[in-house]
Amino acid sequence: MAAVAVAYIGTDRWNADVYGTLSFASRLAEAVKQQRIAYQVRYFLWKVNGRIESMLDDVHAKLEEAIAEAEKAPATSSKSSDRSRIENAIASIQQLHVILDGIYQAANHHRLTNNSALAASIHRLHRNDERIVELAEWIQDLTNPDPLEKIFEAARAEFERGETVALAE
């Protein structure tokens, strides 16, 4: 599965999408901190939310394509350059999260979440930030499945000992 992620994550297209969104999010963070006129902030929120959602849709589409290709011809090798690309991709996503979270915190601090013209966009930004964090965690889990396997093995063992029951029961 890690080979599937390598097909898109960390590529030039990936970097263009993430860093483009990161740049725009930084502009939004600056506008929120300076408490500029609400219509500028609203425009930036609309634009950055659109970019984030477009980027996430693109990521999902590319990963579905990569999964379909991997099912046809599975890849067997994992290169160290692929590993560094994925680590850079995770770092860029985490950087985007830091900026988006900073925007949300600044908006709360300046009470922009109480502004009827901005509240919905700010909450949408917060939801998109949560999706960004989930993407970073998913990629991290995908590239390092060992801790997850230990959790699933422990859960299977508990079930076999009768300490838990299936949800269907």
Q: Is residue 133 part of a domain?
A: yes
Residue 161 domain flag: no
Paired tokens of 23: 């740049």
Question: Cα separations (Å) of 134 from 1, 31, 38, 67?
Answer: 17, 26, 30, 19
Structural domains counted in the chain: 1
**What number is the average pLDDT over the span 83-101?**
89
Cα distances (angstroms) measured from residue 40 to each of 2, 5, 29, 69, 92: 41, 37, 12, 43, 26
Q: What angle do CA 6, 9, 10 make, to 5 degrees?
A: 100
Residue 54 maps to which CATH number?
A: 1.20.58
Query: Is residue 96, in this structure, part of any structural domain at all?
Result: yes
pLDDT at 155: 85
Residue 36's domain spans which residues?
Answer: 2-144
- Could you give the percent of the chain with pLDDT greater than 90? 22
Residue 17 lies in a domain: yes
Cα 72 from chain centroid (whole Å): 27
Within a domain: residue 81?
yes
Tens of pLDDT, residue by residue over 108-128, are: 888 888 877 788 999 999 999
Answer yes or no: is 116 within a domain: yes
The whole-chain average pLDDT of the chain stands at 81
The answer to whether residue 103 scores a pLDDT higher than 80 is: yes
Give the tens place of pLDDT for each residue, 2-48: 565 666 677 778 888 888 888 878 877 777 666 556 677 788 889 99
Q: What number is the average pLDDT over the span 44-60?
A: 90
